Amino acid sequence: MTNDEWAIDRLVDLGVRKAEIEPVSLEGEFWGTLAEAKGISALVNTRSYRGVILVTSPYHTMRAWLTFSGFFKGQGIHLKIYASDDHANLRELLLEFFKLISYEYIVIPVYSIVC
């Protein structure tokens, strides 16, 4: 099963109608979460959505919140982030910690200045 297929099945199991689920493909970039936030923000604005629900790994929720909330700030978009039941090993947790620090103190501030 692909990630999209698994996610769709899981959402249907949770009561979401399959017709209401739309997998979104985004351009891959080096700073993945930043690229995702930028792409989803553009899609949300184009379609005049009022809210976004993100589901991500528990150890990734803080970086997702930090990045996505920055893109939705001042736009009236209601953002909710939920943690999946995914588990991480120590290596993944340490890598995520360094990514979080990088995003908070380098990536997002530099992106804000450049764009």
**Span 20-24, mean pLDDT?**
86
Per the structure block, which two tokens stand in for 73?
A: 């700030």
Paired strand residues for 22: none
56 three-state secondary structure: strand
Residue 47: pLDDT band with limits 50, 70, 90: very high
Q: pLDDT tens-digit profile of 26-36?
A: 777 778 899 99
Q: Rounded distance, CA 40 to CA 25, Å?
A: 10
What's the pLDDT at 78? Answer: 93
What is the CB-side half-sphere exposure of residue 46 using CA atoms within 13 A?
6
60 three-state secondary structure: helix
Residue 24: pLDDT band with limits 50, 70, 90: confident
Q: Where are the alpha helices (DSSP H) in 1-115?
A: 3-13, 32-47, 61-72, 90-102, 108-114
pLDDT over 80 at 6, yes or no:
yes
